[in-house]
A and B are shown apart, each in its own frame.
Chain A
C-alpha cells in the first residue's frame, strides 16, 4: 500500500510525451502566431497582434471557412446522431442478423478517408457518377444535381459522406448504451400500458442520454476537425464553398507559406474547439 512518492515517477514517460507532442507544439504555434515566419527560412520578425487583426478585419475567406465549418458541423451532428440512434434502436438485440448488420454499418469506418473520398467523388461525378445515373434510371432526373460542383450544395454533399463514413461508429456507442438499460424497466412500462413512443421518451431516452452526449460531443469535434474528406474531394472549392478552417490553415501554411499567419488561424481554431468541448463537457456533467 505504501507506494510513496516514487509512484509519481511512473507519470514521467506520459508527461514527457504530453509535453513533447502537445504542450510544446501548442506553445510554438502561439509563439509563431505573433511572427511573420514563412516556414521556409530561419528569419522572421515579431509582428505583435497583426496576424490576429488581419484575420478579424481583412480576411473574408477565414469568415467564409468558419461559416462553412458551422454548417458542416450542424448537418453532421444532426444526421449522424439521428441515424446512428435509429439504427441502434433497430439493432440492439444480439441476433445473427443484427450482428451482421452492425458489422456492415461499421464497415465504412475501417476504410481510409482517401479511399472514401475517391469512391464518393466518382459517385458524385455529374457525367459518369452512379448517383445521377441511378436517379436517371428511376425517372427522377429532376433530382440529379452537380453534387460537389455546385457551391450551394457542395458542403452538404460532403457532410453526407461524413455521415455515411462515421454513422456505424456512433451506432456501436448507442448499442452499448441501449444494451445497458435493464429489461425490467421495459416490462414495468408495458404493464403500465405505455405505448412505444412513451416507452422511448420515458425509459429509453433518459437512460441512453449519456451515450447520446458522448456521440454528440465526439461528432461535433470530429466534424469541426474534418480535413481529409474535403481535401481529397474538393480542396475547398468551388469558389471556397467547401473551405473549412482545417483546409484553410493547411493552405495558408503549405501553399502560401505563411506559417506565422497559419499559426494565428490555428490558435483561433483551437480556442473555438476548446469552447465547444467545454460546452459539451458541461452538458455531459449535467446529464450524469
Chain B
C-alpha cells in the first residue's frame, strides 16, 4: 500500500509540474484574453525614450498587441543575439547589423522573408539592399549612418579651418588644432575607434569596394600597399599626438565627453554620436568630415555610409503578423519622423522631413559620393578582429609592416 501511495503521489506531482510549466509558457507568450505580446530586441540604449513613446502609440492603435522591448549593449548584442533569437522566445522583431551578423543570421535561417510586404514601399529601395540575400528581403535597414568623424563647427570657424580634401590638408588641420591647445581627434580606441575610423582612412587607399572579399579569397593581402599605407597613416596620426593621450584606453563614452567638453576638435566615430554630444552640450554646432588619405585628384570617395539597425521578423516567432505590423508602424512617415528627429538619425524611409539642426546640416551627405562601410563587408569575425587589432598595434607603437604581417597570419588561417 505504501508503494502505491508513493506512486500516486509521484504521478500527481508530475502532472502539477507539467501543468505549471504549460501555464508558464502561456503567460510568457501573452496569449491570454486574445492579447498577443511581441518581443522587440535591439542595441540602441540611447533610443529607449523615443521607442517607449512609439510603443505606447502602437499599443493604443493596436489594443490586442503589446510590445516588450529589451535593449542590450551593442557589443553584447553582436555576440549573443543570435543564440537568444534562435529558440523564438525573444525577438519576434529583432535588429541586425549588416555584414557578418546579417550573414550569420541568414545562415541560421532566423529571418522571415519579407519580400512583397507592402511596408517595403515606404523605404528607399536603394538604401535597403544591405538586408537582401539572393533577391529576397530578409531585413530592412532603418537607419542611415555616416561612419566618419564628427567635428566641432564653431571651433573650426573660430580657428579658420575648412575641412580639407587631401592628406596634407588633413595633417595641417590636425596640427593647427594641436597648436591651439585642442586634441585634434578624440579616438575611442578601447572599443569602436579602430573599427570606425578605418573605413574613411582606407576608402581611397583601396577604392575597390570588393577589397575585403578579395582579401578573404586570398586575392589580396593586408601586407599589400593599400593596408600598409593605411596603417602608416594611422601611426602618423598617433605619433604626432593627434589622438588624445592613451587613446587605446578610451571608450566611446569618454571620447564623446572630450568632444562635448570642447577639448577635442573631432570625434572618430560617426553621425550616430551627434545626439549624445548635443545632449551634453546643446550649444555645439556639429558637422561631418572624412579624412582624405590621398591627393585631392586621386580621391574617389568623400565619406562612408552604412544602412544599419536592420529590422527583421524572427522566423521562429509565433506572432509574425503582429511583428510585421510593428515594422510597418515604424515605417510610417509620422512615426519615422518622430524617431529620426528625436534620435538625430537619418532614416531609410522615404520623404521624411528632418527638423533637428544636425539632421538638416548633414542631409547634404546623402547627395555625396559615399562608400558603404567597408568593415561590414568582411564576413569573418576573426578577420574583422585581426584588421582592427593591426590598427591598435600601430597606435600602440608597432611598425606598420609588422602589424600588417601579423594580421595577415590570421587571415591566412581562413583563406583556403
Contact = CB atoms under 8 A, between A and B. Distances in A.
Interface of A: 38, 40-41, 54, 58-61, 121, 124-128, 145-151, 234-235, 237-240, 250-252, 254-257
A12 to B, nearest CB: 15
A93 B396 CA distance: 49
Contact of A235 (B75, B250, B393): B75
B381 A256 contact: yes
A68 B396 CA distance: 18
A40 B249 contact: no
Interface in B184-205: 189-190
A23 B144 CA distance: 49
A60 B408 CA distance: 11
Interface stretch (B119-127, B129-137, B150-158, B240-248): B240-248
A60 to B, nearest CB: 5
The dominant DSSP class at the B interface is helix
Given A41-B107, A125-B254, A127-B250, A239 B396 contact: yes
A126 B104 contact: no
Contact of A54 (B109, B395, B413): B413
Contacts of A124: 249
20 contacts: A38-B107, A40-B107, A41-B107, A60-B406, A60-B409, A61-B410, A126-B245, A127-B258, A146-B248, A148-B249, A149-B189, A149-B250, A151-B392, A237-B248, A237-B392, A251-B385, A254-B83, A255-B78, A257-B104, A257-B107
B250 A125 contact: yes
Given A238-B248, A239-B393, A255 B189 contact: no
A24 B398 CA distance: 45
The dominant DSSP class at the A interface is loop
A66 to B, nearest CB: 16
Contacts of A38: 107
Nearest to B82: A40
Nearest to B388: A237
Contacts of B112: none
B389 A237 contact: yes
B381 A149 contact: no
B246 A151 contact: no
Contact of B410 (A60, A125, A146, A148): A60
A257 to B, nearest CB: 6
Nearest to A238: B392
Contacts of A252: 382
Nearest to A147: B249
Interface in B245-263: 245-251, 254, 257-258
Interface string B365-392: 0000000000000001110010001101
Nearest to B106: A40
A88 B83 CA distance: 45
Given A254-B79, A256-B380, 14 more contacts: A41-B108, A58-B412, A58-B413, A60-B413, A125-B249, A127-B244, A127-B246, A146-B248, A150-B248, A151-B393, A239-B390, A239-B398, A256-B382, A257-B107
A187 B249 CA distance: 54
Interface centre among B108, B382, B406 (most CB of A within 10 A): B382
B71 to A, nearest CB: 16
B361 interface: no
Interface centre among A150, A234, A255 (most CB of B within 10 A): A255
A149 B409 contact: no
Contacts of A121: 251
A73 B361 CA distance: 53
A252 B380 CA distance: 11
Contacts of B75: 235
Interface of B: 75, 78-80, 82-83, 86, 104, 107-109, 189-190, 244-251, 254, 257-258, 380-382, 385, 389-390, 392-393, 395-396, 398, 403, 406, 409-410, 412-413
A146 B246 contact: yes
Nearest to B390: A239
A151 B247 CA distance: 12
Contacts of B78: 255
Given A40-B108, A127-B254, A255-B381, A149 B248 contact: yes
Contacts of B385: 251, 255
Contacts of A250: 79
A124 B246 CA distance: 11
A40 to B, nearest CB: 4
Contacts of A257: 82, 104, 107, 381
Nearest to B80: A254
Nearest to A60: B409
Contacts of B251: 121, 125
Contacts of A235: 75
A59 B254 contact: no
B190 A234 contact: yes
Given A59-B413, A238-B190, A251-B385, A149 B249 contact: yes
B231 to A, nearest CB: 12
Contacts of B413: 54, 58-60
A130 B395 CA distance: 24
A240 B249 contact: no
A270 B287 CA distance: 52
A235 B73 CA distance: 14
Contacts of B107: 38, 40-41, 257
Nearest to A258: B382
Contact of A149 (B82, B83, B190, B258): B190
Contacts of B104: 40, 257
Contacts of A61: 382, 410
Contact of B389 (A40, A148, A238): A238
Contacts of A251: 79, 381-382, 385
A191 B202 CA distance: 78
Contacts of A128: 254, 257
Nearest to A129: B249
Ranked 5 nearest A-B pairs via Cβ? A149-B249, A126-B246, A149-B248, A146-B246, A40-B108
A51 to B, nearest CB: 12
Nearest to A126: B246
A57 to B, nearest CB: 10
A256 to B, nearest CB: 5
B396 A238 contact: yes
Contacts of B83: 254
B10 to A, nearest CB: 14
A150 B396 contact: yes
